[in-house]
Chains A and B, each alone.
Chain A
Amino acid sequence: MKDVLKIADKTFNSRLFTGTGKFSSSQVMQEAIVASESELVTVALKRVELDNESDNILVHLKEKHMNVLPNTSGVRTAKEAVFAALLAREALGTHWIKLEIHPDPKYLLPDPIETLKAAEELVKLGFVVMPYVHADPVLCKRLEDVGAQCVMPLGAPIGSNKGIMTSDFLEIIIEQSNVPVIIDAGIGAPSHAAYAMELGADAVLVNTAIAVSQNPIQMAIAFKLAVQAGRMAYKAKLASKKQYAEASSPLTSFLNA
C-alpha cells in the first residue's frame, strides 16, 4: 500500500510542506520548491497582491501548479484571522487556511485562546483549518474537537532553526491525535526533520532553513530525502534504545544458580 498522507479530501505523496518567505528571489523560491517535491506551499496573505493576477509570488507558484496554502500571518486576534481567511478564500479560490495568530511580533508565538476561537469559527464556515500552535497536547485535542483537520505544533520558536526542542510534548500529541500532526516551526536542519518524522509526525513544514541556506535548491533536496528517510525509519520501527548493556544480569543471575 502506498504511504500517502491524507488531510481533509486531499492526499499527499510528499510529507514535506514548504513556505515562500525569505528567498532571495521568486525564481530561487520556485526552483527550491520544485526540487523539494513539496505538494503544499504556504504563502503569507500579507505578502501577495490579492487583486493582481500577475503577483510575483503567486505567478511563480501557479506556473508549477502548486497547491497554495494561504496563511494569516500578521493577524493578532480570532476576528482578524477569520476576516483574512474569508479574503483568502475569495481571492485565491481555496478553502484551505493555515491559521497563524501571533499577537507577539517578536517571537511570533501563537495565541492558543484566539487560535481555538478562530478554528471553531472557520470550520463552521467550511474551511480546512491547519492551526499553528504550541506543542500543547490539550490544545491539540481541543482543536481536533472543534473540527481542525490537522494540528501544526512547533518544534522550536519559528525561524530559530533550533530543531525539535519540544519532543516530549510532540510525542504525546502524536500518540493522542486522530488528525495528522505536522511539525511546523524551528526545523533548522534535515536531521531535525528526519527526527520529527521518526517520532511519528505525519509531515513537517520547513521554510527558513531552505530559504536562507547558501544553496536553497540543494537544501530543499536534502530536506526531501531526510523526510523520506525519517518516515521510512518510523514505518520500519526503530529498534528501542537501551540504557544498559544486557550481557550480564548482576541483579537476577542468582535465580539461575
Chain B
Amino acid sequence: MRSFKNTFDLYDWDTLEQDIYNISSNDVQRVLGKEKITLEDFKVLISPAAKPFIEQMAQRSQALTKKRFGNTIQMYLPMYLSNECQNICTYCGFSMTNKIRRKTLSDKEILKEVAHIKRLGYDHILLVTGEANSTVGVSYLKNAICLIRAHFSNISIEVQPLDQDDYESLIEEGLYGVLVYQETYHKATYKTHHPKGKKSNFDYRMDTPDRLGKAGVHKIGIGALFGLEDWRVDSFYTALHLKYLQKTYWKTKYSISFPRLRPHEGNVEPKVEMTDADLVQLICAYRLLDEDVELSMSTRESANFRNNIINLGITSISAESKTNPGGYAVAPESLEQFEICDARSTEEIKQMIQFQGYEVVWKDWDETFSKSV
C-alpha cells in the first residue's frame, strides 16, 4: 500500500531542526536567486536566516499568487454541526474532559443555519464536527451533505478521519474536499496532546490524506497546529507531505492552512511561539515552493493581520465565523471551540478585499461536476 509513512520515516525531527537552524544568510541568497524552489530550498526559506529577506519573499509571493490566482480571493464559511467529542486534545475547547454543553444539530437546525449563511452570500461551505462516531458518524455526515447540497456549490468537511470507503460514499453525495490537519508531525508531542480517543493513533491520522487520495476527493487540505512544536520543522513535514501527495494523487487539488493556537476552554500555553512575522515568512515560503497550492486564512487571526495578508499569497478566507454548533442562528450564545479574533462582518471583509483591488469570489465550483461522477 502506498503511504506517506514510508517517506516520513526517512526523516528525523532533530536532524531537520538542526539543519534549519544552521542555515546561513548565503544559503538564503543563493535560494532566492533560483527560479524553481525545491523542498530543500523551502527549508532554507523557513529558517531564521531568511527572516531579513522577508520583504523580498513577500514581493515574489505576491507576484506568483497574482499570476496563478489573479486578483481574486475565495470566500468560505465553516458551519459547526456538533461539538460532541470522544477525544482528549489538550488544546481544544471540545475536548472530552471539558465540561461544556454538548450539542449536535438536527436537520431542522442545520437548515436554519443554512438559511442564515446563504443570506450572508456564501456558496462554499466547510462542515465541522468533533469526533463522536456513534452520533456523528458517516450516516450523519451523509445526511447533512444531502440536506445542504442544493444550497451550496462546494461542500468540504473537517471532521474525524474516516476510512476510504466512507469517503467514497460521501463523495458520491457531493462532497468536494476534506481538511485534515496532522496537528504536529512530532510523534512524542502528538501523544502528549492526544492521550485518549481514536485521535491518539498518530499513524492512522497521518495516513488520512492517502485514503482521501485513493477515494478520489477533489481537494485535500493539510496543515499543522502551530504552538504544539517548533513551527519550522512541522512546516517542513507539511511541505514534504504536500509534495508526496501531489506526486501520488495528481488529480487532487491541495490547500494549506496555518492555524495558530488560540485561547479556548481549558487552556494550554503554546510551547513554541509563532510571531506574525514568522507566519508571513511561512506563507511566502509555501508560495515560493508551490505556485498552485491554495493558502487559506481563518478568522483566528487579527483584523489587521488579515487585511495585510491577502496581498501576500493567501487565496481563500472566511469571515464572521462561529465555532459553536448553531452559532449563526440556532444558539448564538453557546460556547465556542476557540475564540475567533477577527469578528468583522462578511460585508466588512468584502469591502476590505475590494478596497485592496481584489474581486471577492463566492462560487468557483458547480455541484453538477460532483454529481456526474
Interface residues of A (CB under 8 A from B): 21-26, 44-50, 74-76, 79-80, 83-84, 87, 103-107, 159-161, 208, 211-212
Contacts and interface: CB of A to CB of B under 8 A. Distances in A.
B86 interface: no
B135 interface: no
B187 interface: no
Contact of A83 (B357, B363, B372): B372
A105 B292 contact: yes
Contacts of B71: 22-24, 211-212
Interface in B348-363: 354, 357-359, 361, 363
B365 A46 contact: yes
Given A76-B251, A208-B67, 5 more contacts: A46-B366, A49-B363, A83-B372, A103-B251, A104-B250
Contacts of B253: 105-106
A212 B66 contact: yes
Nearest to A49: B363
A18 to B, nearest CB: 13
Contacts of A160: 67
B359 A80 contact: no
B359 A47 contact: no
Contacts of A44: 364
Contacts of B123: 49
**SS class, residues of chain B in contact with chain A:** loop
Given A105-B252, A212-B67, A80 B372 contact: yes
B246 A106 contact: yes
Given A161-B67, A208-B67, A212-B70, A24 B357 contact: yes
Contacts of A159: 67-68
A104 B368 contact: no
Nearest to A108: B292
Interface residues on B, range: 20 to 34
A215 to B, nearest CB: 12
B252 A74 contact: no
B372 A48 contact: no
Contacts of B357: 24
Interface centre among B68, B252, B359, B365 (most CB of A within 10 A): B359
A158 to B, nearest CB: 10
21 contacts: A22-B69, A22-B70, A22-B71, A23-B72, A24-B357, A24-B359, A25-B359, A46-B364, A47-B363, A48-B363, A49-B123, A80-B369, A83-B372, A84-B369, A106-B253, A106-B292, A159-B67, A160-B67, A208-B67, A212-B67, A212-B70
Contact of A84 (B354, B364, B366): B366
A173 B24 CA distance: 50
Contacts of B372: 79-80, 83-84
A111 to B, nearest CB: 10
Given A105-B253, A106-B246, A106-B292, A74 B366 contact: yes
Contacts of A76: 251
Contacts of A22: 69-72
B153 interface: yes
A21 B70 contact: yes
A212 B71 CA distance: 7
A107 B123 CA distance: 25
A74 B153 CA distance: 13
Nearest to A107: B292
A104 B251 contact: yes
B373 interface: yes
A48 to B, nearest CB: 7
- The 9 tightest CB contacts between A and B, nearest first, are A22-B70, A24-B71, A83-B372, A105-B253, A103-B251, A106-B292, A46-B366, A24-B357, A80-B372
Nearest to A25: B359
Contacts of B292: 105-107
A128 to B, nearest CB: 21
Interface string B227-261: 00000000000000000001000111100000000
A2 B70 CA distance: 36
Contacts of A211: 70-71
A107 B357 CA distance: 26
Given A159-B67, A211-B70, A25 B364 contact: no
A87 B68 contact: no
Contacts of B246: 106
